[in-house]
Amino acid sequence: METKVAVNPYLDGNFAPVQKEITTDTLQVIGELPPDLSGMFVRNGPNPQWTPIGEYHWFDGDGMLHGVRISNGKATYRNHFVQTKKWQIENQAGKAIWSGLLEPPQKDTPEGVSTNTANTALVWHAGQLLALWEGGAPYAIQVPDLKTIGEYTYHSKLVSAFTAHPKVDPVTGEMMFFGYSFAPPYLQYSVVSEKGELLQTVPIDLPMAVMMHDFAITENYTIFMDLPLTISGERMQRGEPVLMFERDRPSRFGIVPRFGDNSNIRWFESPACYVFHTLNAYEDGDEVVLLGCRMNSISILTSDTEGHIPRLHQWRFNLRTGSVHEEMLDDVTSEFPRVNENFLGQKTRYGYTGRMKKVSPPLFDGLIKYDLSSGKSETHEFGSGRYGGEAVFAPPTSPNGDEDEGWLITFVYDNSTETCELVVINAQDVTAEPVARVLIPQRVPYGFHGAWVSEKQLNASSK
């Protein structure tokens, strides 16, 4: 009897990596690209350069950027690996050297070189596109060709890791980020000026190390999430998981003035949960309001999925009374929340998430548009056997001020044809068919987070 070899689901189907880096100047468009949509959609995600060592986790793969530039109703595509130090050493060796999260720590790898894969997200700030991974420094990326420039350390002022989800204030232009660590200080908080100068880095006290993937900002405050997904070297020495969700620990939310520090942070407690991604936050009188996709529990390194159902929630923290009110806004499973980033940190009427099928690995079969004022929602469905990812909001080059004026953009994979396309959806009419479908000449594996780089930003970067 033939024995079937188990296939790692993250190396199969449209999770499987692609090896070719290509550039295609003329792409077929079904429908019509809006004349006022001009810029570049770039999406990051894991794509192992070589056959992985041992068991592969989706978070392990080398960063690969997939970019579609849109201008004058036409589109071009290119993809490139982020050439991190890890990528360069393995590329020269012609094989994988570092194992991943599910394997024991290695002791015989090249010394002094991080396994930073820069595979998670992107941010545009101070005229520069950065590829991000929360365990190390950003990598500067050239646009529009997506070639790697190198590590970006703010003239060697960067002293912490750099979150995959920094926040750029659309009013001041300042960017806030943080880095978490396995050793004290467990959390460091930084502010970068509009021009790209690292203004401050301050430690924030935490009881122990935790995995903190995201945070949020308002006009005057920064909000940290000390959630009970804890990191413990002592556990690892006992043969227990280094990363564990501790259900008996509360969730803590710390609110600090933008240029504050540990001396003036205020902590609020709520029941244990985990939040990978926040949608937005804003101030409402005495309250700070946070929106994000909440799960009852989380397990990163095991196959246990009980409680791992993200749903959109809202928290209201009263700065005068100290009270916390937590509320589920929708019982539909969804993740990868985004807003029109021209309104980040302000009270927004609309938010967008990816609707998830309750399967593992995760698949997104549609997009949800939430009207946070009315409590209603609308859904764009990708269609039978078609799955996408996070939708990035792209405003028009000449916006008239309406918050939802623009387009939702994401890659969609069709299981039946094994092909990929970029879909452009009118954010003011999300239930309609896409206004345009850009056919991509090779498969784009499922990935993580993207960014919209406007034509104005592209032009500024070339000067």
Whether 316 is covered by a domain: the verdict is yes
Whether 450 is covered by a domain: the verdict is no
Question: What's the pLDDT at 3?
Answer: 45
CA distance 451 to 122: 6
Measured over all CA atoms, what is the biggest interatomic distance in the chain, rounded to whole angstroms?
A: 70
Whether 385 is covered by a domain: the verdict is no
- Contact between 439 and 450 (Cβ < 8 Å): no
The number of folded domains in the chain is 1
Q: Which residues contact 416 (CB under 8 A, 6 or more apart)?
A: 385
Indicate the helix (H) or strand (E) that contains 457.
helix 455-461
CB atoms within 10 A of CB 414: 16
Question: What's the pLDDT at 242?
Answer: 83
Whether 301 is covered by a domain: the verdict is yes
Whether 273 is covered by a domain: the verdict is yes
Question: What's the pLDDT at 314?
Answer: 98
Whether 153 is covered by a domain: the verdict is no
Cα separations (Å) of 230 from 68, 247, 331? Answer: 38, 10, 27
Average pLDDT per block of 10 residues along the chain, 463 residues long = 67 96 96 97 98 94 98 97 96 93 77 81 98 97 97 97 98 98 96 98 97 98 97 81 90 98 97 97 98 92 68 98 98 97 97 93 96 97 97 93 96 97 98 98 98 94 60
- Contact between 402 and 388 (Cβ < 8 Å): no
Question: What's the pLDDT at 55?
Answer: 93
- Contact between 341 and 168 (Cβ < 8 Å): yes
- pTM of the predicted model, to two decimals? 0.95
Whether 333 is covered by a domain: the verdict is yes
Tokens of residue 273, six digits? 């949960």
Question: What's the pLDDT at 105?
Answer: 74
Coil, strand or helix: which one is 44?
strand
Domain that holds residue 310: 178-188+196-348
Q: What is the DSSP letter of 388?
A: B
Tokens of residue 398, six digits? 């000449």
Q: Which residues contact 156 (CB under 8 A, 6 or more apart)?
A: none
